[in-house]
Structure 1
Amino acid sequence: MNTQQLALVFPGQGSQKVGMLAELGAAFPSIKATFAEASAALGYDMWDLVQNGEQAQLNLTETTQPVLLTASVAVWRLWCEQGGLQPSLMSGHSLGEFSALVCAGSIDFADAVRLVRARGQFMQTAVPVGEGAMAAVLGLDDAQIIDICQQASAAGVVEAVNFNSPGQVVIAGKVAGVEKAIELLKAAGAKRALSLPVSAPFHTSLMRPAGEKLAEALAAMSLQSPIIPVVHNVHGKTENDPSAIKALLVEQIYSAVKWVSCVEAMAAAGITTTIEAGPGKVLSGLNKRIEKSLSCLNIESPETLAAALEAVAQ
């Protein structure tokens, strides 16, 4: 296999779990070393939290974001250390886009860890707890869902925010708007429309105040052009200019995650294999549904690492 056929993808919120990467951490010192770097940046023992903490603590968005970023960077460094094939593209789902930019050499790791913790705080404070909601919708096409959200928005802001795979879209907004949308979506024939256990309406226009704060934080940071191109959630394209990348990261916080567009763009560029670097295999499942021809691997244990190394060496 050649470099042109491989992309690495990085998971977003929802993939975190207590005990994640435990086996990799036991087998490879570089995993814990990466967590130690992140711990030094944030001032608490992140590996201990991930292995021995409470799931509720891990699920707080200001904790989730640096934890997942660190896990993904640790897996990427291990991949490089083991002589894994260098990908020709990278992408990440929401928070995962920051992981991709770190691994592509665009954002310094310690800076990124601090930045995504702040991003989590900004997102949580943009809408008070209890006022926002998100729901997953299965079995309707995108246009129907967008139309129904517009109808339901008379009850409160509600928007389609994650285009995850054909027939799987996440909506978010004010509680009353989301509840009204769920009612209308079920009436329209949705197979499922169920509330998600999240603490804020991510990727909606309600996140604009968080975007303004993130813009201020990014203005003080130095970004580089990525060594490996990163496909961005906002428009499904790559970007080389650091100031444009900053603008996309700000826009992403209050715009829909167009994951289907990201995966289609990678496939159109000749990608035949994606490797999900980090806990879980959420993106591997989505990628396969979006582009059935893709080979979708993930790395979260010594076994999955060995399988991925072998698959791309052929």
Structure 2
Amino acid sequence: MTKAVVICPGRGTYNKPELGYLHRHFPDQDLLRSFDTQRSARGEAPLTELDGADKFSLSRHTRGDNASGLIYAATLGDFLTIDRDTIEIVAITGNSMGWYSALALAGALSPRDGFELVNTMGALMQEAMIGGQLVYPITGDNWVPEPEKRREIMNLIARIDERDDCVLTVSIDLGGMLVLAGNHHGLDTFKQAVPQIDGRYPMVLANHAAFHSHLQGPVAEKGRAALSDGLFASPDLPLVDGRGAIWWPGATKTAALWEYTLGHQVTETYDFARAIAVAAREFAPDLFIVTGPGTTLGGAVAQSLIAADWQGMQGKDDFKTRQQSDPILISMGMDDQRGRVTKEKNT
């Protein structure tokens, strides 16, 4: 049996290439219809309608109240297709919104309750739309960690955040990149203070609020009011959260899991790089499986493993060499890779 850590992607992973993903890969049509029923009861477009649209719409498909449900369903569908006869899943983690998906995959929430959590929080964040996010790299193209550059950027963030009209903080640590959250003054000040890289960065993320920052306090409060801790159970599989803490089967207090999910996880930095490092060191998997949708999270996983000095990998070349000889990372959003871990044929 191949031991694997499963990693759930977050917002920003359902884009034009992913249109039709649920139609192509979701294995349980009754479950998908139940999600559509939940959305229709809230006056929201069914997932099958969004996924089956003739054209991808940035303004429609990337809205929090639409994107969250699409991504959750794609993640869950991929997880259900993993060949458990050959793959032993030893732990589950996720990036940002992917934590909600991870809860369902690990059995801490039922699939339908997981969808209720995702749909509710996506709608609340879209309704409030407080602040924004941008992405900025802190390593070069070779993915080799640059501690001095990280320190310089972190000091700059702190100085900007000290200004009376600015809010700026690290939203997500992706290992080789930082996602920053803040108000518009804070984000604009950062953009003006740093050099542009590759004509792309700093990159503002469309339809993203200031996730994982204290600005989301009102959203967290509404989430706790709308979603009871009765939805949560002790997980069936170990969960690694956005601090690198592990929630163990049989040893998890569900009230604490609820409090973290709708408290710290919403309002504090999500340290994805640490979650990956802990998952690698504590569970020693043979393989990391990134569920769909999308293919963008694989680079962040690789950069996080490099930053953690996992199995001696020092940079991008080491990772690519390892992938060619003995792959340690499978992205299910890539048709040529998903067949390695599923029973699907001709995907």
- How much has 1:121 moved relative to structure 2? 2.2
C-alpha change, 1:98 and 1:79, in structure 2 (3 Å) is same
Aligned to 1:173: 182
Tell me, in whole angstroms, the C-alpha distance in 2 between the residues paired with 1:196 and 1:222: 31
Tell me, in whole angstroms, the C-alpha distance in 2 between the residues paired with 1:231 and 1:11: 14
Runs of 4+ in 1 over 4 A off after TM superposition: none
Aligned to 2:292: 278
User: Does residue 146 in structure 1 map to residue 160 in structure 2?
Assistant: no
Letter of the structure 2 residue corresponding to residue 259 of structure 1: F
Residues 110-149 of structure 1 correspond to what in structure 2 (within 5 A)? 110-127=112-129, 132-139=131-138, 141-149=149-157
Whose helix fraction is larger, Structure 1's or Structure 2's?
1
Deviations 1:28-58 (A, max 9, x none): 6725444223112222431231121642211
1:16 to 5, 14, 18: 14
Which stretches in structure 2 are left out of the alignment for 5+ residues? 140-148, 312-326
- How much has 1:127 moved relative to structure 2? 4.2
- How much has 1:114 moved relative to structure 2? 2.1
- How much has 1:71 moved relative to structure 2? 0.9
- How much has 1:309 moved relative to structure 2? 4.3
Question: TM-score, structure 1 length as denominator?
Answer: 0.86
Tell me, in whole angstroms, the C-alpha distance in 1 between the residues paired with 2:150 and 2:95: 18
Aligned to 1:69: 72
- How much has 1:18 moved relative to structure 2? 4.5
Letter of the structure 2 residue corresponding to residue 20 of structure 1: E
Percent identical: 18
Question: TM-score, structure 2 length as denominator?
Answer: 0.78
2:216 to 207, 218, 222: 207
Deviations 1:150-206 (A, max 9, x none): 21121311111110113x10111111111112223339xxx9423222342221111
Letter of the structure 2 residue corresponding to residue 254 of structure 1: T
Which stretches in structure 1 are left out of the alignment for 5+ residues? none
SS in 1 for 2:246: coil
- How much has 1:91 moved relative to structure 2? 0.4
Letter of the structure 2 residue corresponding to residue 273 of structure 1: L
Determine if contact 1:90/1:228 at 8 Å carries over to the other structure: yes
- How much has 1:301 moved relative to structure 2? 6.0
CA RMSD of aligned residues (A): 2.6
- How much has 1:222 moved relative to structure 2? 2.3
Determine if contact 2:90/2:237 at 8 Å carries over to the other structure: yes
User: Does residue 249 in structure 1 map to residue 261 in structure 2?
Assistant: yes
